[in-house]
Amino acid sequence: MTHGNAPIEQTASRHGTWRSRGTFILAATGSAVGLGNIWRFPYVTGEYGGSAFIVVYLVSVLLLGLPVMMAEVALGREGRHSPLITMQKLIERTRSHRIWLLIGWSSLLSGFLIASYYEVIAGWTLRYALDYSGQAIGLLPGTTDVQQVWSAFLSSPGQLILFQTLFVVITMAVIARGLKRGLEKATTLMMPVLFLMLLALLVYSLLEGDPAASLSYMFKPDWSALGVNGVLAAMGQAFFTLSLGMGAIMVYGAYLPEGVKVPSTVGVIALLDTLVAIIAGIALFSIIFAHPELQPESGPGLLFITLSSAFEVMPGGVLIGMLFFFLVGVAALTSLLSIVEPTVAWVVEKYNASRLRVSITVGVVVWLLGLGTVFSFNLGEDVLIFFGQTFFGFLDYLTNNILLPAGGLLIALFAGWIMPREVIARQLSLEGRAFLTWQILARWIAPAGILAVLVYTWFSAG
Ligand code: TRP
């Protein structure tokens, strides 16, 4: 391996590098594929009437998602540190304004905030997976009233905290083991399992559900149901599902070996992520439409109430329910890893601290913050009100509608305007027309799209 005299400052981060392009793809796809694909995507698709939403979402992935994702990987690999320190280094090198440090700081803030509610919801999937397992081996009785089980679960802080705790402990145990023995091992092990489970679910849904109704719901555009809100929600979804705007992909990029070509690699990740969302959508709606009494527009309860009711009455439903909720749990785990890694990496770098201790500390802080989300479904439902929303609603809004788009905007602008052209061109191994295309997207198109989301959010909130 030669690095010639290219101005590469550092070729590896202190945390190590991925073994290969393949393990990076698995880890980054693990980050991308999560609750956003299997829980959020189907229910927002349902809320905005199906196919038209999906069209805008796909266009947003191409025009906003891909260029920003390339920018994150390029910046991360150039800086070879956690997002905040990477930004400090790049700002020094380009002698640019310290305002760009916001990218780094918001990465830490978003990391804590997103992790704090993500682990709680991930805990729900764990609870359902274990519950179905109990039923499958005959340890637990079947559910008669799905709605009642769900409400009872949500109104019990003790239960929510139990599963939240389990989830944080598992996540931090992986993170504490470091890049190679933790992140890489866990994702290379879990991602194939995830794809297999998804495939099994798809086959089952085609055999036992109503695939024709599902396909027409998802792919026959009904533009009337969309509206401005739908368009903006689709852009936001594209961002969230690709893990963009908070440095998660940036830190994974910092661990990417030299020589791996970024554009095609990022393309594979976005493609896999989109495929998972579409397949999960087809499977879920196929199952739901097989039961005329169930509605696809039921919001966040779609998995836990609507889908669960279907599993109750379907042949082999208990086993499929178990498989399904394990699938969502695994997807959530590999995502949560990437939400806390930028923060853990930063503390390790900044204070030269041991990964184990940092993981424990970050885990405790995330857990404590998570209590806010836990209580927003029960004790604090009417007390913990922020800007007219529950604590969870507020966090979800703040991160998805403000912090992530703002982070993505700054990342696109910094990579597109501030970084020297040669550096980004070398990082992306693009030249000529291809580079120009990326540049136009990063300088103009993505910022314009993101700004539209931010401005609209601002005015509709006021
Ligand atoms: N993309 C993940 C999902 O779809 C969530 C996620 C992981 C994320 N890392 C992120 C979202 C960083 C925003 C930023 O569930």
CATH of the domain at 345: 1.20.1740
To test the pocket of ligand 1, the residue of 103, 335, 399 to mutate (highest count of ligand atoms within 8 Å of its CB) is 335
Q: How confident is the model at residue 461, as a pLDDT?
A: 67
CA of 403 to the centre of ligand 1 (A): 13
pLDDT > 50? residue 6 = no
pLDDT > 70? residue 406 = yes
Amino acid at 338: S
User: Taking CA 299 as the corner, what is the angle to CA 285 and CA 161, rounded to the nearest 5 degrees?
Assistant: 115
How far apart are alpha carbons 85 and 350 in whole angstroms?
8
Q: How confident is the model at residue 141, as a pLDDT?
A: 87
Instruction: Please indicate, yes or no, if residue 1 is contained in any of the structural domains.
Output: no
Dump pLDDT digits (tens) for 427-436: 999 999 999 9
Instruction: Please indicate, yes or no, if residue 4 is contained in any of the structural domains.
Output: no
Instruction: Please indicate, yes or no, if residue 234 is contained in any of the structural domains.
Output: yes
Q: Among 204, 205, 196, 199, which Cα is nearest to 284's? A: 205
Q: Which residues sit opposite 390 in a β-bridge?
A: 385
C-alpha torsion sign, points 185, 189, 192, 197? negative
Q: Please, which residues have CB within 8 angstroms of residue 416's CB and are 6 or more apart in sequence? A: 71, 439, 442, 443, 447
Q: Among 211, 110, 171, 149, which Cα is nearest to 337's? A: 171
Distance of CA 365 to the CA centre of its chain: 20
Residues having CB closer than 6 A to ligand 1 are 31-32, 34-37, 114, 240-241, 243, 245-246, 248, 335, 338-339, 404
CA of 244 to the centre of ligand 1 (A): 7
Instruction: Please indicate, yes or no, if residue 12 is contained in any of the structural domains.
Output: no
Quote the mean pLDDT of the chain: 93
Q: Among 345, 450, 397, 457, which Cα is nearest to 113's? A: 397
Q: Which residues sit opposite 16 in a β-bridge?
A: 13
Q: How confident is the model at residue 2, as a pLDDT?
A: 41
Instruction: Enumerate the H helices of 290-316 as residue ranges.
Output: 308-313
CA of 114 to the centre of ligand 1 (A): 8
Tokens of 273: 């992520």
How far apart are alpha carbons 75 and 416 in whole angstroms?
11
**CB of 289 closer than 8 Å to CB of 209:** yes
Instruction: Please indicate, yes or no, if residue 258 is contained in any of the structural domains.
Output: yes
Instruction: Print the domain residue range for 370.
Output: 21-461
DSSP string computed for 260-273: --HHHHHHHHHHHH
pLDDT > 70? residue 22 = yes
Q: How confident is the model at residue 300, as a pLDDT?
A: 76
CA of 241 to the centre of ligand 1 (A): 6
Q: How confident is the model at residue 9, as a pLDDT?
A: 61
Q: How confident is the model at residue 17, as a pLDDT?
A: 97
Instruction: Please indicate, yes or no, if residue 13 is contained in any of the structural domains.
Output: no
Residue 279: count other Cβ atoms within 10 Å of its Cβ: 18
Instruction: Please indicate, yes or no, if residue 243 is contained in any of the structural domains.
Output: yes
Q: Among 393, 298, 234, which Cα is nearest to 46's? A: 298
Quick one: pLDDT band at residue 232, thresholds 50, 70, 90? confident
Instruction: Please indicate, yes or no, if residue 14 is contained in any of the structural domains.
Output: no
Supply φ then ψ for residue 390, to 5 degrees: -70, 170
**CB of 139 closer than 8 Å to CB of 180:** no
Question: How many domains are there within the chain?
Answer: 1
Average pLDDT on 296-325 reads 90
How far apart are alpha carbons 361 and 367 in whole angstroms?
10
Q: How far is CA 94 from CA 86, 194, 407, 420, in A?
A: 12, 42, 19, 8
